[in-house]
A and B are shown apart, each in its own frame.
Chain A
């Protein structure tokens, strides 16, 4: 075996260690098939060389070399770096997202918002795994063992985590955009006006849900690219403490997103298995309107109860599921209702007594 292949092999081996640590943290109970995960990880790996390939093509066709154009046309170095990092951040995020979209298109793996988030994290892991192999093998001869170890630890811990954060956030918004019809319907019922979605919908002459979809994807891309650019910028100027805090904060944010009830909702169901509503459409619309009104009035306990009963009649209604999850998220976040919620969800057999007591409590509170 020649020296280059050996270095590449060792680099790949050590780069695989953090991947083996991160994957169980996010995919232990994901419910996504292992084959799908393996394929996505592999596609994620290929996205890094794809980016290198683009840069290689710029060498052949310099007229398309955007990076050189930025470097030569912006004289102020700090501004040039910002633009450069935004551009590369965008390129990386779009490429990683592309991998998730391919998998979702082929396997319909994204059934919840969290699925999209997790799959994006996996694509990012594949991407940074390949990147780590590249950097480690490149720096093998030029750095001392100690320096190389430092680079390895930093890249495995912080850079890899940073990639997961950027992609995870973009994935989260991709997930939301995928279920834009249900989410737009729910938002309509609570009277939320989304001006940007409305503008995009008018501009593109598409339904409002499509406008919301496009807006959400753009929002996710914008946040991910901005964070990516800030991260790269800080790295460029070696401000390590903020980088570390930035990554820890981002990681906690990802964990928070993954724990939200809304993210766990299974919004993609097989149409052939979809159960018909046992409630007349006109009557159901009245109740949905009421849900919107009471959600807006922050009557989350009532919303939760109505949703429970409504789902008994119409188990596959995604708008009701969204209301329920959002009300639960709100209740878990608020102190006043926390105890009530604990009793609400404890005993399912005692539904009527429980309902009565909770609504009575609510009315007492309201009238006092």
Chain B
């Protein structure tokens, strides 16, 4: 087990390193420089001064070296657009993305599994088809379009839900209302997959011998489903959650932009557009660590839950 952990850790570190190299060199290929240099009326002298201050006149490799040296000590440097420490800006925004992601996963898993079971148990009936149809629609509608339609409907027309912001200042109810639409939109990329996975998993498990045996033994139908089939059917579902997390992160970029949600997804877009090199690097590293870590956790859960794998680990 320990050996496995160490190996994974090593692999993850190499991975993160490669990502940083790619991102750094990519960013520096971009035409233009940090936004402060890019004002219409900035004179050449001003631009020079800023470039000098930000250390942009060193060759790219040197700058990467400097960045790496600081990064491993946890110092991602100052954000080029505001001077704040990059790590502070990320820490400010990260909990909001985490909030959305957590609720989306919760919502998707709970509703998804339920719908998947219904679908499997009533396969080829109208219930199954409707759920499937709904899933495909969810997967097919462009998320930002749906977001705008929802805002038009629920915020402008009916004034039921806030069109943006987190409702932080107000009470729990406002915060909850602010999350409803973003979570729903984010779920359109995760919910359908969980539904289908649960369904096919249940179907596969149901045809297994031990289920038939249980049934033959006269065990109550409900027990068959919940104690025997479900538990085993859920195992692959756990693994799919790991795959969905990067997709979720991508989704937050758009959802946070439309709903004015101050999370990390929006931060990277702002950072890339204003050529805030340090911020882009910081966010990419954190996002990579996040994904790697969550995959890791999922693998561990998987190994604990799936008896076949448990015995191997």
The answer to whether A binds B is: no
